[in-house]
């Protein structure tokens, strides 16, 4: 498969406002730590006003955009193959935040395909991180809830290698047709389809829609251990290994992260354990997004060894967890890509594929 134009597709194009707060701040505003909540314009304003005394940053956010920028930076130089062309489709408004979002992605070497919605408002996510590295997120959807399957998107998908569907898309019922059409076109043109779980509550609310796409189109699924259990209707007592193995009966490749305990990659009812890469956690926000970029990068570079690919993903995640902010830095990306290229050249990563290798993507 040619690797010139991977397209990664998302609707939740949102600007992140990220700040460090204490538990008392969350309690004062009646927020449950570690959760994601949809808020309206007034609620967003109330929280931002409460943050006036805090130090916070604005960034082009959205779960999948973190993955895209990391992937673009990993593939930004011709190491182990041609540079990767990464694109994103989503909805932004014609407001200043929309211009900010587009400019930030462009700086990250991600081509944002969709035109701004006239008189629309760009969605935002307030990310509140407590000293224990837990994050609480408040999402204001704005125009991010609307994605139309335009002819320009169909044209780009027809030339792409991977289509990634962000799980938060399923929160917007009118985007289901867009998702389905995009997946159908991707498969028709020989592209892989990946789905990110995004959130347990999102899976529970839209379980049937998720499985309609996963069961018919997905080649790859990304989830954390709780999300994987939610897909399987497993209780919290079930191990992530069991969930990984179960899902891999339905999807060719399953990637399940389990926080500081490590991660699992499942293929054909079997799973491979990937130990965590050592780091001192500063902010867990974006860890799963970074991990997914490592898996996608390995696939796009032609890797077939699950352990090697998982080790790269774990290293990318560890770098992001050990810093403030969700973006993989350029220099870190270059070093990680060089290390992975050396691994590809010096190992039997392209040898005949056994149980620890990808054989059906």
Report the share of the chain in percent with pLDDT over 90.
50
Distance CA 69, CA 104 (A): 10
Is residue 355's pLDDT more than 60? no
pLDDT of residue 128: 93
* Res. 251: pLDDT tops 60: yes
Average pLDDT of the segment spanning 67-82: 78
With a cut of 70, say whether residue 347 has pLDDT above it: no
Burial class of residue 314 (count of CB atoms within 10 Å of its CB; 0-12, 13-18, 19+): buried
pLDDT of res. 1:
37
Q: Say yes or no to pLDDT of 306 above 60.
A: yes
**Res. 358: pLDDT tops 70:** no
User: What is the predicted pLDDT for the residue at 61?
Assistant: 76
- For residue range 256-277, list pLDDT tens digits in order: 999 999 999 999 999 999 999 9
Domains of the chain: 63-121+149-346 (3.40.1190.20)
Q: CA nearest 257: which of 42, 53, 105, 67?
A: 67
Q: Is pLDDT at 67 greater than 80 in this prediction?
A: yes
Percent of the chain with pLDDT over 70: 90
Question: From CA 217, how far away is CA 211, in angstroms rounded?
Answer: 10
The DSSP annotation for 251-281 comes to: SSEEEEE-GGG-EEEEETTEEEEEPPPP---
How confident is the model over 137-179, as pLDDT tens digits? 999 988 877 777 877 788 888 889 999 999 988 988 778 888 9
Q: What is the mean pLDDT of residues 80-89?
A: 77
pLDDT tens digit string along 192-210?
Answer: 999 999 889 999 999 999 9
pLDDT at 193: 96
Q: State the pLDDT confidence band at 3, using cuts at 50, 70 and 90.
A: very low
pLDDT of residue 32 exceeding 50, the answer is yes
Mean pLDDT rounded to a whole number for the chain: 87
Question: What digits encode the pLDDT tens for the residues 313-325?
Answer: 999 999 999 888 7
């Amino acid at each position: 498969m040619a690797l010139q134009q991977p397209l990664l597709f998302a609707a939740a194009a949102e600007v992140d406002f990220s700040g460090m707060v204490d538990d008392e701040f969350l309690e004062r505003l009646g927020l449950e730590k570690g959760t994601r909540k949809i808020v309206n314009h007034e609620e967003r304003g109330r929280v931002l006003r409460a943050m006036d005394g805090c130090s916070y940053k604005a960034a082009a956010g959205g779960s999948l955009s973190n993955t895209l920028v990391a992937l673009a930076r990993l593939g930004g130089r011709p190491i182990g193959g041609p540079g990767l062309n990464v694109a994103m489709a989503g909805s932004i408004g014609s407001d200043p935040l929309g211009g900010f979002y587009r400019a930030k992605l462009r700086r990250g070497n991600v081509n944002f395909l969709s035109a701004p919605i006239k008189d629309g408002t760009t969605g935002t996510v307030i990310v509140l991180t407590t000293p224990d590295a837990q994050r609480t997120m408040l999402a204001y959807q704005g125009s991010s809830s609307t994605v139309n399957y335009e002819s320009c998107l169909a044209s780009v998908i027809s030339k792409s290698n991977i289509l990634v569907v962000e799980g938060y898309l399923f929160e917007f019922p009118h985007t289901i047709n867009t998702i389905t059409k995009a997946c159908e076109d991707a498969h028709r043109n020989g592209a892989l389809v990946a789905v990110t779980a995004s959130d347990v509550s999102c899976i529970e609310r839209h379980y049937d829609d998720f499985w309609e796409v996963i069961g018919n189109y997905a080649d790859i699924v990304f989830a954390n251990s709780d999300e994987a259990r939610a897909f399987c209707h497993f209780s919290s007592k079930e191990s992530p290994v069991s969930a990984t193995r179960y899902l891999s009966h339905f999807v060719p490749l399953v990637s399940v992260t389990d926080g500081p305990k490590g991660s699992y990659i499942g293929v054909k009812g079997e799973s491979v354990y990937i130990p965590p890469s050592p780091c001192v956690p500063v902010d867990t926000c974006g860890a799963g997004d970074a991990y997914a970029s490592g898996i996608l990068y390995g696939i796009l570079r032609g890797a077939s060894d699950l352990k090697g690919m998982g080790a790269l993903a774990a290293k990318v995640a560890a770098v992001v967890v050990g810093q403030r902010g969700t973006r993989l830095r350029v220099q870190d990306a270059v070093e990680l890509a060089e290390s992975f290229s050396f691994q590809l050249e010096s190992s039997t990563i392209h040898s005949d594929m056994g149980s620890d290798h990808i054989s059906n993507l």
